[in-house]
Amino acid sequence: MSYISSRLSVVRPSASMAASQAAKALRAKGVDVIDLGLGEPDFPTPAHIIEAAYAAAKAGQTLYTAAAGSPEVREAVAGKFRRENGLDYTADDIVVANGAKQIIFNALMATLEPGDEAILPAPYFVSYPEMVKLLGGTPVTVECRESGGFRLTPELLEKAIGPRTKWLFLNMPGNPSGAVYSADDLKALGAVLARHPQVLILSDEIYEHIIFDNREFVSFGKACPDLKDRSLIVNGVAKAYAMTGWRVGYAAGPAPLVKAMSIIQSQSVTSVCSIAQAATVAALNGPQDEVARFRDAFEARRNLVVDGIRRINGLTLPPPEGAFYAYIGCASLIGRRTPKGVMLEDDTAVATYLLNEGRVASVPGTAYGLSPYFRISTATSEEVLAEAIARINAAVAQVE
Ligand SMILES: Cc1ncc(COP(=O)(O)O)c(C=O)c1O
């Protein structure tokens, strides 16, 4: 008899973690595998942020803080939203959690009733549907085609909204597609949402600073101020400041929602690590030149990958507009056979083939709700990326 709750029966473990595990298992057998499964910046956290954490620990900032975050960190987040996004929030409208993931988890826990629906434009971040299901909701996948830049359109949104819709998730730049929405794109979605007052909007803007070709980032909150009382603007320090392991995410939203999320926080984790909060204050208020340096490095890698993948017969890759992934189309490989005679039935088979024969770990598109694709992370050095592309090329060339 299993003692694991039925709640868990619907939840899948993270596909990107699974790809990484498979790569590690092969490596343990002595196989030289390039792991492009997991996405996190490969740069060290900027030194001034680490110094601020050290200083905070030495100065005795080692106690629990308020559940929603220390007054200093919430002030710093409110300042960031004002300065960088033109959003008018006070510290009371802010909640800080252990990563953007916990922010999203808390928001869903605070709002979902069994059977409530969350609209997820696909391809989506792998954790969204699993969190929705874990908390009793129903994910509603809306496939957003490559031909439309992987963006949700007002027509698709209108069709997806029903009486049980509780949330619309937006993610820009998007993981895995890199899609960015312009102010006009967002206003057009906002016009649909204005007709459906029961829908809350979660805008995950964690890749805000990793945006290419001189594109301007526009927060959903800036484009649709009339929807402020039902928008949750989610962000964090993980991607912009190379701080994935510090575990700090934050959000601004309507007071009742932020308060409910803080209550969950107080009864679960109490608060985010006080030292990581001090580091976040330094990240948000300190010099931003490293953020720009990281962005430039990610853009150079994006260029290298787009150029390399486009030379491979059978793969497609529209240039990602932001974030650090390439969502590579592999439709023309489906139905063909590997040199060992294995039929590539779907993108999972393609990713498995690339791992076993190409020695490159990627994540199949099925994990992101839109097939046939596979995702590679471009958050690694140009040499490693060039070698990975050469391996993918060699493997794809052998498909019959
Ligand atoms: C779209 C998106 N949101 C949130 C996260 C997680 O952010 P955090 O590390 O702050 O929990 C990720 C991480 O991969 C992501 O891709």
Q: Which atom of ligand 1 is nearest to the CA of 323?
A: 16
Of all residues in the chain, what percent carry a pLDDT higher than 90? 92
Q: Given a cut of 80, is residue 1 above it in pLDDT?
A: no
Close Cβ partners of 250 (under 8 Å, ≥ 6 residues apart): 69, 73, 77, 94, 95, 96, 97, 100, 103, 234, 235, 236, 280
In this structure, the chain runs to a length of 400
Contact at 8 Å (CB) between 129 and 108?
A: no
Question: What confidence tier does 94 reach under pLDDT thresholds 50, 70, 90?
Answer: very high
Alpha helices in 218-338 (DSSP H): 220-223, 255-268, 274-285, 289-310
Distance CA 150, CA 328 (A): 12
Q: What is the pLDDT of residue 15?
A: 73
Distance CA 386, CA 392 (A): 10
Residue with the smallest CA separation from ligand 1 atom 16 is 175
User: Average pLDDT, stretch 327-345?
Assistant: 96
Q: What is the pLDDT of residue 11?
A: 87
Q: Given a cut of 90, is residue 206 above it in pLDDT?
A: yes
Residue with the smallest CA separation from ligand 1 atom 14 is 39
Question: What confidence tier does 64 reach under pLDDT thresholds 50, 70, 90?
Answer: very high
Report CA(167)–ligand 1 centroid distance (Å). 18
- Output the six-digit token pair for 7: 């709640």
Report CA(169)–ligand 1 centroid distance (Å). 13
Report CA(32)–ligand 1 centroid distance (Å). 28
Q: Given a cut of 80, is residue 17 above it in pLDDT?
A: no
Q: Which atom of ligand 1 is nearest to the CA of 16?
A: 14
- Output the six-digit token pair for 289: 């030149």
The count of other CB atoms within 10 Å of the CB of residue 202 is 23
Q: What is the pLDDT of residue 2?
A: 82
Report CA(123)–ligand 1 centroid distance (Å). 15
User: Average pLDDT, stretch 308-323?
Assistant: 96
Tens of pLDDT, residue by residue over 167-183, are 999 999 999 999 999 99
Q: For residue 399, is it left (φ>0), alpha (ψ between -120 and 50) or beta?
A: beta
Distance CA 388, CA 400 (A): 21
Ligand 1 residue neighbourhood (C-beta within 6 Å)? 39, 99-101, 125, 171, 175, 204, 206, 236, 238, 244, 249
Question: What confidence tier does 360 reach under pLDDT thresholds 50, 70, 90?
Answer: very high
